Amino acid sequence: MGKEYTCTVRIDGLATTGKLHLDTSELRIVGPRRLAIALADVRDAAVVDETLRLTAKGTRIELELGARRAQAWKDAIVSPKTLLEKIGVRATERVFVKNIDDGFIDDLSRTLETPPSRSLRGTFDVAFLGVADVPALDGVARVMARLTPAGALWIISPKGKASPVPEAAVRAAARACGLYDAKVVAFSATLSATKWMIPLASRANHAAGSARPARVAAR
């Protein structure tokens, strides 16, 4: 989901109020003045008092964020976290992947002591399930059944209002399995990743690898 905040914004000296959204690739300003800034285009970033000052493609932007937030946003813009840092995969974890691009799998393989599995056999600490359409969400129950009690299931789905996998459908499939959403990150420019976990109260009754996955009701 990234960082969000509403504040006074100055674009080339003209002040307005804008809602800001910062993720790992872009800063968006929504309001009377709309602006999308690729982080790769930011050439200067400095905190002056409580204001973050940026220059991108000749445009000067000032964001009145407060001293602490301004510094945090500057750090995120100058040194954005990698996808694996945002997700938080540890080297010792057992990982399952399905319908995820090879570039991400290569990154995982360089990070993990044991390469990620594409076979749903055994138990896993973290699972990544790519879903390109609503029927693919039937896989949520099967993957959840293979998670360790404190494991995490990341559902990777297309972004946007016109997505073939609406957020409501993702929520329905995961909650039908008793999961709760713990985090959302931008997986790429077109994909969103939502982290789902088993509630603490239910973990004692969850035996990884032995649960019988219930079929998700038709949507």
Q: pTM for this one? A: 0.75
The domain boundary, picked from 60, 80, 100, lies at 80
The domain boundary, picked from 65, 80, 95, lies at 80
pLDDT on residue 32: 92
pLDDT on residue 81: 84
The alpha-helical segments, DSSP class H, found in the chain are: 67-78, 83-87, 102-111, 139-144, 167-176, 200-203
Low-confidence ranges of the chain (pLDDT < 70): 1-2, 208-219
DSSP letter for each residue of 199-217 = -HHHHTT--TTT--PPPPP
Half-sphere exposure (Cβ direction) of 124: Cα atoms closer than 13 Å: 27
Residues 215, 138 contacting (CB under 8 angstroms): yes
Same domain, 91 and 178: yes
pLDDT digits (tens, 9 = 90+) for 105-159: 999 999 999 999 999 999 999 999 999 999 999 999 999 999 999 999 999 999 9
Q: Does a structural domain hold residue 126?
A: yes
- Tokens for 74, please give them: 């500057």
Pairwise CA distance, residues 146 & 73, whole Å: 38
**DSSP H or E segment with residue 192:** strand 191-197
Give residue 131's domain range: 84-203
pLDDT on residue 212: 47
